[in-house]
Structure formats: C-alpha cells, structure tokens
Amino acid sequence: MEERENPLVNTCSFMNVKPIMMELPYPAIQVRGKNQAYANLLSFDYCGSVSEMSAITQYINNENRMSCEQCPLAKTILGIAMAEMIHLQKLGELIFLLGGTIDFSAKQNGGRQKMWTPEYLNTPQNVKKMILADIEAEKAAINQYRMHIKVIKDDYVNAVLARIIKDEEYHIMILKALLSD
C-alpha cells in the first residue's frame, strides 16, 4: 500500500448531532401485565424485517456513505437514526415488562423465531434512492405499528407505539424535505 503525503480526511463533525424527533414526551414505560403474545408482536417491531433495528442499521449505513461528501445530509440522517435508537430502547423495555426476551429474534406465537439479518436492508448507492428507501421503510413501520395497536389491548403499550408513530411521521416529513432540496 502506498503512503500518501496528504491523507484523506472526513471533516464532517457529528459532535452536536441530536435525535430528530417530535418535541413531545414519551408515555411512561409500563404494561397492564405480562403477555407473551404482545411481547412477541413487539419483537417484530424491535428486530423483524420492518423494525427499529433495521431502520437504525439502514440509516447508519446511509449516513456513513454520505458523510464525506454531503455532511449536512449525513447529520440529518444520523439524527433520525438516533431517534430510532430511542424507539428500540423503549420497545426493549416493553418486551421485558411483558415477559419477553431481548435476543434479536422476532418471535411468532408458535415458538418459531427468526434472527435479525442485514438482508432486511435496502441500501441503494444513489442518495436520492437511499432517501426514498428510508421513506418507504418509515411508512412500513407506521403501518406495522398501527396493525399492532389494533391487536394489543394494553393502553400503556399502545400509548408508546402511538408516540413512536409521531416520530416516524415526522421523519417522513423531513426525508421528503431533503428530497426537494
């Protein structure tokens, strides 16, 4: 490998990036009681193909590929990823309180489980296509959360899911604005 006189350097600083989310409090993380079926449903939101784990990984991958050439865009993508990390953390707490396990596998009620895999990600090379893939992933997450709210009969859990949806809708708005710039 040849040595360079002038090393390549990424000058994009992420020191002051904060989570990009609605300025609304989250409800308390509590449940009516243990419920394995609800924990299993939330495991899909946690680490299924449409999940916070997939969103975080896809956003971080996109941010890494943008940071050297499109710093402001990369910072926005990282801020969204940070909000998704908070969602992952809240879901993990709910799963635990419901009596489930946190092991990066989505669990079906018959006992079958599927481990999270990067095969779930959509990672196009073009920045516009990255943002479009992120918008589609956010829409899919919102639809899945809404389906889960219809099934889960625990108002505490549903309040948290409804609050997460507000962030996901906000992310779509921001991503669409990035597309128009």
89-120 pLDDT, tens digit each: 999 999 999 999 999 999 987 778 899 999 99
Of all residues in the chain, the percent with pLDDT exceeding 90 is 85
| Nearest-angstrom CA–CA distance, 143 and 93 | 22
| Nearest-angstrom CA–CA distance, 32 and 41 | 16
What pLDDT score does 174 carry? 98
Helix, strand or coil, per DSSP, at residue 3? coil
Question: Which tokens belong to 66?
Answer: 């943008």
Condensed to tens digits (0 to 9), the pLDDT of residues 42-94 reads 999 999 999 999 999 999 999 999 988 899 999 999 999 999 999 999 999 99
CA torsion 6-10-11-16 (nearest 10°) is: -160
The DSSP element (H or E) to which 105 belongs, if any, is strand 105-107
